[in-house]
Amino acid sequence: MLKTVSQEVKIERLNICQTCDNFRQNTKTCKKCGCYMPAKATFATSACPKGFWGKEAPGKDLINTLEEMILESWNKQ
């Protein structure tokens, strides 16, 4: 499953991206990796290709909370 970071980490990552020379403001993509950064910054396993930010532990947001609830219910069966 795709783990996501907290909203705070996502915002922090995007703020870093916006100061980078490789960030295309009009499309919100990275010239180096070609990714759409609002999406890439959401995932815990993502990292900046220039090393400005790296992988993070998943945050406790709605997606991860629901995933944990589902896995817990499966384990009870």
The secondary structure of residue 53, as a DSSP letter, is: S
pLDDT of res. 29 = 97
Residue 37's CB: how many other CB atoms inside 10 A? 24
Residue pair 60/5 in contact by the 8 Å Cβ criterion: no
Break the chain into its structural domains and give their ranges: 7-76
Residue 20: predicted pLDDT: 97
Please write the tens of the pLDDT for every residue from 22-51. Answer: 999 999 999 999 999 999 999 999 999 999
Average pLDDT rounded to a whole number, residues 7-29: 96
**DSSP state letters, 16-30:** HHHTSTTEETTTTEE
Q: What is the per-residue pLDDT across 45-71, written as a single tens digit (0 to 9) for each?
A: 999 999 999 998 877 666 767 777 788
Is the pLDDT score of 1 beyond 80?
no
Among 67, 53, 52, CA closest to 2: 67
